[in-house]
Homo-oligomer: A and B are copies of this chain.
Amino acid sequence: MSKIRHALNTRRADDFAQWYQEVISAADMAEESGVRGCMVIKPWGYGVWERVQRLLDARIKATGHDNCYFPIFIPLSNFEREASHVEGFAKEMAVVTHHRLIADGEGGLVPDPEAKLEEPLVVRPTSETIIGDAMARWVQSWRDLPLKLNQWANVVRWEMRTRMFLRTSEFLWQEGHTAHQNAEEAKEHTLRMLEVYRACAEEDIAMPVIAGEKPEHERFPGAVETWSIEAMMQDGKALQAGTSHYLGTNFAEAAGIRYQDREGGQQLCHTTSWGVSTRLVGGMIMVHGDDDGLRVPPKLAPWQVVILPLLRDDERDAALLEYCEGLRAALAGASAFGEPVRVLLDDKPGKAAAKRWDWVRKGAPVIVEVGGRDMEDGVVSLLRRDRLWGENAKPAFETPTRDDAAQGIPTLLEEIQQALFAEARDRREANITRGIESMDALKDFFASNGRYPGWVEVQWAKPTGAALEKVVEDLKALKLTVRNVPIGSAPADGACLFTGEPAVERILVGRAY
């Protein structure tokens, strides 16, 4: 057993699910709310989400979308128009039936029977139908197209089994909705937004992803094509981190989104929708966390640098605080990733070691400790969260001069961002297995590769109908699903793993959240 005293009780290798719950709590990211399936996102967790929002919002605006806001309530009749859409969501919808409470005569409250809604309202699980209504009003002619909208909102899907950030009854997300003149343009846009998600996942969250198309049976209810980005968690499972859908004319037909073309004819629009959610925060935790807690990529960290003066309640303290403040001010005036460095001088009361471990668990990228000796020597003690441990089970402090720290930390933050990405990408690459060519070999692989087997890339003949159902069943028996058909993978050159027919493409198969 390692001599290193880790800051969490559970290690990833021992029980990943337990570790996940523990790190969320230890890093003070979120907690159960007491309301069924809903969580409270605490300041450190919400701060990370705010950063994701800002960075992704800039990318969404840069691709020509305007933000707007649509009602949270959707009349039940809206859902009746698109059959496969409602089939996909009806089982998990929160339904508002009353608009008033009255006393029940026993000190409690009940919905007022006199205030029953004529038509129940659904709390939006997604907004295709209500935004489709608006698009039908807004689009008249080809000149109004493309129409490119985005909304940041909360949505509700009544989940039976919930897990913080990954699957909650209410979650926060962004949903983009666009309308186009034809299939070609709409499909191109579907892929453009998938690329925006890839860039955000890899460049902002430092979370490598594989972008590809979902197989038919995994499509969004009502979509013609569904594309996803898939990230590998440290337990080898896949997290579907974002999806982009080409909806064909299905929703346009249901809502009547038509335009007059250049020749004066009436045409149906082709629409797209795409979304990512607070699930990304769960992905960040499971990709970057370690046995000491969270490691937040610098681009997302609410505080990128935390300065901890080792205060002793004596006259030395004022000088020490001033010395620390010098570093804080210098860093706050510098920039990393094109923004001012977010630096906290944490002078709250408390034992220095306890405070250090709090910030380690929260995953602040750089922790700078400053004691009296450091001040005398003109240096600081600097700890990189991504490379916490040095020799002899001691934290790997470096001791640059204060000026060198002020100069070097902005670049160091960019290095840490890269290092976290490279570490995650290398781990994922090491855990994708190729060359498995039969169902038996697939079974063997997952039986013999422990609890964290990663993904396999196999070839298939893209079965449909009953043949596809059989594949889905067989995979399900191994707790596996098809993740996606990666964009840009090598052409098929063998037999279909499931049917033995000539394969037409390569797919990723794995366990998933």
Which residues of A line the B interface, CB within 8 A? 31, 33-36, 38-43, 45-47, 49-50, 66-77, 79-80, 86, 90-102, 107-111, 120-123, 130, 133-134, 137, 143, 149, 153-154, 156, 158, 169-170, 172, 349
Contact = CB atoms under 8 A, between A and B. Distances in A.
Contact of A109 (B45, B49, B71, B86): B86
Nearest to A39: B71
A110 B95 CA distance: 9
Given A69-B46, A71-B40, A101 B96 contact: no
B109 A101 contact: no
A74 B107 contact: no
Contact of A101 (B36, B73, B95, B137): B95
B96 A96 contact: yes
B123 A123 contact: yes
A71 B33 contact: yes
B158 A109 contact: no
29 contacts: A31-B137, A33-B70, A35-B75, A38-B71, A40-B68, A40-B70, A43-B66, A46-B69, A47-B66, A47-B67, A71-B170, A76-B108, A79-B101, A79-B109, A80-B107, A86-B109, A90-B100, A90-B109, A91-B100, A93-B99, A94-B96, A95-B96, A95-B99, A97-B97, A97-B111, A100-B158, A110-B120, A123-B123, A153-B154
A80 B109 contact: yes
Given A49-B69, A73-B169, A110-B120, 9 more contacts: A36-B73, A38-B73, A42-B68, A43-B66, A43-B68, A43-B149, A80-B108, A93-B99, A97-B98
Contact of A50 (B67, B86, B154): B67
The listed residue with most B CB atoms (<10 A of its CB), out of A71, A120, A133, is A71
A86 B156 CA distance: 25
A347 to B, nearest CB: 14
B73 A35 contact: yes
Contacts of A123: 72, 96, 123
Given A73-B35, A96-B96, A109-B80, A90 B102 contact: yes
B134 A40 contact: yes
A74 B120 CA distance: 19
Chain A to chain B: the 3 pairs with minimum beta-carbon distance, closest first:
A43-B66, A38-B71, A41-B69
